[in-house]
């Protein structure tokens, strides 16, 4: 007997239709959720980008403390901006949030180069000429003393470079170097004079990493001469020492700042960091400093026993970034930068005192100095450049300078992306 | 002959059963159609996505341009209104507000961003 059962069949059909409808609703719901997430993500990325533009255009005083505000006084446009001075550069932190989604980016930024002030070489005028000898190349615009540039016969070697002597425009220099930025120097003075509190040991870890979104991790070794080795330190970390700090080749530093009386970087070190000292910095041979790095020697008060502050860079060192010396008192014993043979510096050298370049030193970028020294076994030559290359054209057009230097323009750009989610 | 085929009895549904079934099926179909049209109506249209992509593209161009002015342009069936004004308390920054309208002059998408005035 065949059963008719119209009701059963209808219920089954209704169930099938219900199943289809519910799957349709679920699919549409998921699609909508995903789309909203994507929309919020786009919105957040837009806001982060706006925040970055605001930070890059901000004046020095603003955003030193974290500031949260609405970009356009609408919904979904809250940003939180902060600018942290980080050595010769600045760190920007941008956070933006919509509902429970948060997007952040931290980056370092620096100034573009002011082409009107930029020079391959700036040698102050001390009423004497500037002499070239051996295989020397100076390429780019220069500011040299009124007495001009000439060739010289030193160590049984005549000048073998380009006939034009300087491949670029020659301008007359002033009696003093264009000054460094006062605000940044004050900031450094504060770093050196304030008593830094922090951990006195590196706690035996092999990796120390700190995000720029968190407070700075400070290590202060105080008056203990410390040698750091077998450790990888990166991010928002500052090392302080009231005496000598030795950095071994087994150490990897990334975006770290070091402040000490004297710093010794052992042979074979690789990393990118900013090292600041008051008395001396010694970089031994075969070290490699990636961009952006900085070696800065700053004297804000006269030492008890007067001696010459010095940055010495060993053989075959490759350095990318800024090397500078500064003496607030402008004492007669001027700070000295010495480069050994085959040193390559890509970036800027600002020597308020003396710059002694040895054979085969190559500076791809710019040199500002009060005086050149060249020493052989018997004699010291002043304002002689021998077997050295200064080439401003070899510097990348994307190179950014620190706001500390006089050649920096007002416009700022992102130097390095540090962290993002 | 025909009578021999109908020897067994066929159980049929009562008129009441048939009516109830019909009512149920009509209600179920009605609800299903409602759900279907609602899902279709509320889900995002390709038009909206296209408008948003267009606004992103226009914003990108504006970021690389040195001369940004308030203007209205028509791109691929959309009218894009570009409003440019200086960002308050910040020299060198401008606020760009882009709005896309469809052929019926209905707002489809909008985008706001702070950019530097001279890239």
Beta-strand relationship, A142-144 and A121-123? parallel
Between B25, B36, B114, which is nearest A13 by CB? B25
Question: Is position B100 within any domain?
Answer: yes
For chain A, say whether B9 makes contact (Cβ under 8 Å): yes
Same domain for B36 and B61, yes or no, is: no
**Number of domains within chain B:** 2
User: Which backbone phi and psi does A7 adopt, to 5 degrees?
Assistant: -65, -45
| Structure token pair of residue A112 | 């573009």
**Number of domains within chain A:** 2
Same domain for A108 and A167, yes or no, is: no
Question: Is position A175 within any domain?
Answer: yes
Domain span at B80: 46-116
Same domain for B21 and B71, yes or no, is: no
Element containing residue A244 per DSSP (H, E) = strand A244-247
Same domain for A103 and A140, yes or no, is: no
Q: How far is CA A246 from CA A241, B11, B69, in A?
A: 10, 101, 57
Q: State whether B11 and A35 contact (CB < 8 Å).
A: no
From A86, A113, A140, give the residue that closes a domain: A113
- Of residues A275 and B24, more confidence is placed in A275
Question: Is position A211 within any domain?
Answer: yes
Q: For chain B, which ranges sit under pLDDT 50?
A: 1-4
Residue of B nearest to A31 (CA): B43
| Structure token pair of residue A151 | 């060739």
Same domain for B63 and B33, yes or no, is: no
Same domain for A186 and A245, yes or no, is: yes
| Structure token pair of residue B109 | 């998408």
Mutate to test the interface with A, among B35, B55, B86 (most CBs of A within 10 A): B35
Question: Which residues 43-72 of chain A have a CB within 8 Å of chain B?
Answer: 46, 49-50, 53-54, 56-58, 71-72
Same domain for B59 and B16, yes or no, is: no
Q: Report how far residue A254's alpha carbon sits from residue A234's, in angstroms, rounded to the nearest whole number.
A: 4
Question: Is position B103 within any domain?
Answer: yes
Q: What is the pLDDT of residue A3?
A: 60
Same domain for B53 and B82, yes or no, is: yes
Q: Is the pLDDT of residue A1 over 70?
A: no
Q: Report how far residue A228's alpha carbon sits from residue A195's, in angstroms, rounded to the nearest whole number.
A: 21
Q: What is the pLDDT of residue B16?
A: 84
Between B35, B59, B90, which is nearest A57 by CB? B90
Q: How confident is the model at residue A346 (pLDDT cuts 50, 70, 90)?
A: very high
Q: What is the pLDDT of residue A210?
A: 93
Same domain for B79 and B23, yes or no, is: no
- The mean pLDDT of A9-14, rounded to a whole number, is 87
From A113, A137, A152, give the residue that closes a domain: A113
Between A7, A35, A74, which is nearest B17 by CB? A7
Residue of A nearest to B52 (CA): A39
Residue of B nearest to A20 (CA): B32
Chain B CB contacts of A15 below 8 Å: none
Q: Report how far residue A278's alpha carbon sits from residue A262's, in angstroms, rounded to the nearest whole number.
A: 7
Residue of A nearest to B20 (CA): A7
Chain A CB contacts of B44 below 8 Å: 31-32, 35
Interface ipTM: 0.78
| Structure token pair of residue B72 | 């209205």
For chain B, say whether A20 makes contact (Cβ under 8 Å): yes
Same domain for A274 and A139, yes or no, is: yes
Q: What is the pLDDT of residue B10?
A: 65
Q: Report how far residue A388's alpha carbon sits from residue A331's, in angstroms, rounded to the nearest whole number.
A: 28
For chain A, say whether B26 makes contact (Cβ under 8 Å): no
Question: Is position A418 within any domain?
Answer: no
Q: Is the pLDDT of residue A342 over 70?
A: yes
Q: Quick one: which of A123, A117, A128, A133 has its CA closest to A165?
A: A133
C-alpha angle with apex A85: A413 to A272, nearest 5 degrees? 75
Domain span at A35: 6-113
Same domain for B24 and B75, yes or no, is: no
Between B44, B112, B115, which is nearest A72 by CB? B112
- Please, which contacts does B76-84 make with residues 24 or more away whose CB atoms are closer than 8 Å? B76/B50, B77/B102, B77/B103, B78/B50, B78/B51, B78/B54, B78/B102, B78/B108, B79/B105, B80/B54, B80/B55, B82/B58
Question: Which residues 29-58 of chain B have a CB within 8 Å of chain A?
Answer: 29, 31-32, 35-36, 39, 42-44, 52, 56
Same domain for B36 and B51, yes or no, is: no
Question: Is position A333 within any domain?
Answer: yes
Question: Is position B112 within any domain?
Answer: yes
Is residue B99 classed as helix, strand or coil in its secondary structure? strand
Same domain for B67 and B104, yes or no, is: yes
Per-residue pLDDT of A224-272, as tens digits, reads 888 999 999 999 999 999 899 999 999 999 999 999 999 999 999 999 9
Q: Is the pLDDT of residue A343 over 60?
A: yes
- The mean pLDDT of A274-282, rounded to a whole number, is 94
Between B25, B36, B56, which is nearest A24 by CB? B36
Contact A81, A104 (CB under 8 A): no
Question: Is position B6 within any domain?
Answer: no
Q: Is the pLDDT of residue A10 over 70?
A: yes
List the single range of A113-122, A195-204, A314-323, A392-401 with lowest mean pLDDT.
Answer: A195-204
Same domain for A106 and A127, yes or no, is: no
Chain B CB contacts of A25 below 8 Å: 35, 39
Same domain for A252 and A357, yes or no, is: yes
Q: Which residue has the tokens 């180069």?
A: A113
For chain A, say whether B88 makes contact (Cβ under 8 Å): no
- Considering chain A, what is the average pLDDT of its residues? 90
Same domain for A151 and A93, yes or no, is: no
> pTM of this prediction?
0.85
Between B11, B43, B56, which is nearest A31 by CB? B43
Per-residue pLDDT of A78-104, as tens digits, reads 899 999 999 999 999 999 988 788 999
Question: Is position B3 within any domain?
Answer: no
Per-residue pLDDT of A161-197, as tens digits, reads 888 999 999 999 999 999 999 989 999 998 888 877 7
Same domain for B91 and B79, yes or no, is: yes
From A113, A146, A179, give the residue that closes a domain: A113
Element containing residue B15 per DSSP (H, E) = helix B15-42
């Amino acid at each position: 007997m065949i059963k008719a059962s119209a009701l059963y069949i209808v219920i089954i059909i209704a169930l099938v239709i219900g199943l289809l409808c519910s799957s349709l609703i679920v699919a549409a719901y998921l699609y909508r959720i995903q789309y909203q997430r994507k929309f919020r993500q786009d919105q957040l990325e837009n806001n982060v980008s706006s925040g970055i533009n605001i930070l890059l255009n901000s004046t020095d005083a603003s955003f030193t403390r974290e500031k949260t505000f609405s970009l356009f006084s609408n919904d979904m446009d809250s940003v939180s901006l902060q600018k942290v001075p980080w050595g010769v550069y600045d760190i920007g932190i941008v956070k933006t949030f919509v509902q429970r989604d948060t997007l952040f980016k931290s980056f370092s930024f620096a100034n573009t180069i002011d082409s009107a002030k930029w020079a391959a070489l700036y040698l102050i005028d001390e009423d004497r000429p500037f002499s070239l000898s051996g295989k020397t190349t100076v390429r780019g615009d220069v500011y040299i003393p009124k007495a001009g540039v000439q060739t010289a016969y030193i160590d049984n070697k005549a000048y073998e470079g380009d006939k034009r002597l300087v491949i670029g425009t020659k301008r007359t220099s002033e009696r003093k170097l264009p000054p460094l930025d006062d605000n940044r120097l004050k900031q450094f003075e504060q770093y050196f004079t304030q008593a830094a509190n922090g951990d006195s040991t590196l706690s035996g870890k092999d990796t120390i990493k700190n995000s720029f979104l968190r407070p700075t991790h400070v290590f202060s070794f105080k008056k203990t001469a410390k040698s750091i080795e077998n450790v990888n330190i990166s991010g928002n970390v500052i090392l302080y020492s009231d005496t000598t700090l030795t950095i071994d080749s087994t150490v990897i530093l990334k975006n770290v700042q070091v402040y000490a009386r004297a710093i010794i970087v052992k042979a074979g070190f690789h990393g990118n960091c900013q090292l600041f000292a008051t008395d001396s910095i010694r970089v031994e041979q075969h070290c490699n400093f990636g961009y952006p790095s900085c070696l800065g020697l700053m004297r804000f008060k006269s030492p008890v026993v007067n001696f010459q502050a010095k940055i010495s860079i060993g053989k075959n060192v490759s350095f990318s970034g800024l090397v500078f010396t500064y003496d607030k008192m402008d004492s007669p014993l001027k700070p000295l930068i010495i480069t050994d043979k085959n040193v390559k510096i890509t970036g800027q050298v600002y020597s308020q005192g003396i710059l002694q370049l040895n054979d085969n030193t190559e500076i791809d970028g710019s040199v500002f100095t009060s005086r050149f020294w060249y020493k052989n076994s018997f004699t010291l030559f002043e304002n002689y450049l021998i077997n050295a290359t200064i080439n401003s054209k070899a510097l990348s057009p994307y190179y950014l300078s620190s706001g500390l230097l006089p050649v920096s323009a007002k416009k700022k750009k992102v130097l390095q992306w540090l962290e993002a989610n | 002959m025909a009578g021999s085929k109908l020897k067994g009895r066929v159980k049929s549904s009562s008129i009441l059963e048939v009516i109830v079934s019909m009512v149920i099926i009509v209600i179920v179909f009605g609800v299903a159609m409602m759900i279907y049209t609602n899902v279709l109506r509320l889900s995002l249209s390709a038009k909206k996505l296209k408008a948003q992509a267009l606004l992103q593209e226009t914003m990108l161009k504006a970021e690389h341009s040195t001369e940004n002015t308030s203007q209205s342009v028509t791109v691929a069936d959309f009218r894009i209104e570009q409003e440019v004004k200086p960002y308050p308390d910040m020299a060198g920054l401008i606020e760009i507000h882009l709005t896309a309208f469809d052929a019926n002059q209905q707002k489809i998408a909008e985008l706001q961003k702070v950019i530097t005035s001279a890239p």
